[in-house]
Amino acid sequence: MKKKLAILAGVLVLSSMSFGAAAPAKKASLEDSLNNLEKQLQRLDQMEQQKFNEQAALAQAAQQRLDKYLAMQATIDQRIADIEANADKSIFGKEFKQKMSEFKSLRSELDKEIKKEQKVLEDFELLKSLR
């Protein structure tokens, strides 16, 4: 009986030692998991900032194109107005009206491009507001 009790006590001591040794390993594992998650979060933050910077560059380029397109639009509108005012007074009225039609077609294409650039800028403004 004493022998069984001694063996049981020994097993109990060894078990408590092994569980005690496992606890620091588990703590280290939890710390490693936390550190890993922190690194992943930091990487996501960096990726988000990089993507934001890319979108900012795209928006800046879109703004430059939009400014250029708006200047072109003003020029086209002026040409159309000039042609409309003078086409009937010229011997080349038919040719002027043909050019006016071409200007209007160009204006239509330009309007589409302006809408695209405005959409890029609106999307970037939305992205900025979400940050």
Parse the chain into domains and list their residue ranges.
Answer: 35-130
pTM as predicted: 0.69
Residue 27: the pLDDT is 77
* Nearest partner of 118 among 48, 54, 49, 70, judged by Cα: 70
Helix (H) or strand (E) holding 89: none
What are the tens digits of pLDDT across the range 83-116?
999 988 989 989 999 999 999 999 999 999 999 9
Residue 25: the pLDDT is 65
**C-alpha–C-alpha distance, residues 129 and 66, integer Å:** 21
Contacts of residue 84, Cβ cutoff 8 Å, sequence gap at least 6: 100
What are the tens digits of pLDDT across the range 11-63?
555 555 554 544 556 778 999 999 999 999 999 999 999 999 999 999 999 99
Query: Would you identify the CATH topology of the domain 35-130?
Result: Helix Hairpins (1.10.287)
